Amino acid sequence: MDKPLTVGILGAGTMGTGIATVTARAGHRTILRDLTEAAVQAGVGRVRQFLDKSVELGKMPAEQRDAAAAGLTGTTGLDDLAECDIVVEAVFEDVALKAELFGRLDDICAPTTLFHTNTSTLSVTAIAAGSSRPERVVGTHYCNPAPLMRLVEVARARQTSDEAYHATTEFLAGLGKVTVTTRDTPGFIVNRFLIPFENDCIRALEAGLGTVESIDQAVTRGLGHPMGPFTLLDIVGLEIHRAVSLSLYEQLRDARFAPPPLVEQMVAAGHLGRKTGRGFYTYDEPRMFGT
């Protein structure tokens, strides 16, 4: 890394804490922001837990963990992001909320600060329109779990400048990420393939083609995927899968994106995956990041 930056993360949920883990681990000063003290503390705790586990598994030297933990702080105040070189938003999938937050940050951050959005399905161009510096807004779609998955899709808004785009890909390379550049289009590349595939697997389960275990095995052993669709869905969260599916279905009007009835039932029952201890599989205790 050339020089440690100050990185603000908006949202201490699944993705915000995952991305905060990645930036803190890379040596950047990281400020995690959520709306309540409880959410902030829980998020900071999950990052620390992941770092500790990495040391325990021999994947990270203790000194790196200590430096990452020392560089990580949490806050509920947007003003605390004033010194950030980059702000990554990972709040709810709501275009008005994301656009409004960047608009508020215009008055708080330096004019040079880059704004990254981790949206999965929304228009980066529409989010950028909320800022008075839309040329500095870039879509950076991390894969879940962010600390473990190397790919980040980079989506340029129509307004994104070449300079902001290049600074973004350089920053992501410094985090150890592999980037692919995609058009600002619903679902980018990964979710345009992944969501219909996962919905097909769920429909196959509903139709009795196989069990959760046998379909996962067929996909890992037969297709060479690193994990089966149901293992992955449990990590992502069924309510997230439902929201992403619906958003893409509404925008693309293609039935392959419509969430199958089983997804609706599981969400209604609170069987959201690892985070609730039960999804397609059951877990002894709720877990994050697939650790």
Nearest residue (beta carbon) to ligand NAD: 13
Which phi and psi angles does 289 have, rounded to 5°? 60, 10
CA distance 288 to 280: 16
172 is an interface residue for ligand NAD by CB under 6 A: no
Q: Check residue 34 for interaction with ligand NAD (CB under 6 A).
A: yes
Is 13 among the residues that bind ligand NAD (CB under 6 A)? yes
Position 222, amino acid:
G
54 is catalytic: no
The nearer residue to ligand NAD, 58 or 259, going by C-beta atoms, is 259
Count CB neighbours of 61 within 10 A.
11
**Mutual angle of helices 190-206 and 229-236, in 10-degree steps:** 110
Residue 240, exposed/middle/buried by CB under 10 A (0-12, 13-18, 19+)? buried
95 binds ligand NAD (CB under 6 A): no
CB of 91 to ligand NAD, least distance (A): 4
CB of 107 to ligand NAD, least distance (A): 15
Q: Does residue 166 have an active-site annotation? A: no
Choice between 14 and 168, CB closer to ligand NAD = 14
d(CA 17, CA 47): 6
Range in contact with ligand NAD (rule: CB under 6 A) among 61-69, 90-98, 125-133, 213-221: 90-98
Contact positions with ligand NAD (CB under 6 A) in 224-263:
236-237, 240
Q: Is 212 one of the binding residues for ligand NAD (CB under 6 A)?
A: no
Q: How far is the CB of 209 from ligand NAD (least distance, A)?
A: 25
Asked about 120 being catalytic, the answer comes back as yes
User: Under the criterion CB under 6 A, does residue 39 sit at the interface with ligand NAD?
Assistant: yes
| Nearest approach, Cβ of residue 141 and ligand NAD (Å) | 6
Active site residue 161: no
Binding mask 123-162 for ligand NAD (x = CB under 6 A): ------------------xx-x------------------
Candidates 153, 199, 241, 247; catalytic one: 153
Which of 33, 116, 133, 156 binds ligand NAD (CB under 6 A)? It is 33
Phi and psi at residue 134, to the nearest 5° = -60, -25
Sheet with 6-10, strands from edge to edge, namely 72-75, 29-33, 6-10, 86-89, 114-117, 137-142, 151-156, 178-182
Q: Which residues form the catalytic set?
A: 120, 141, 153, 191
**Binding region for ligand NAD (CB under 6 A):** 10-16, 33-35, 39, 90-93, 101, 118-120, 141-142, 144, 236-237, 240
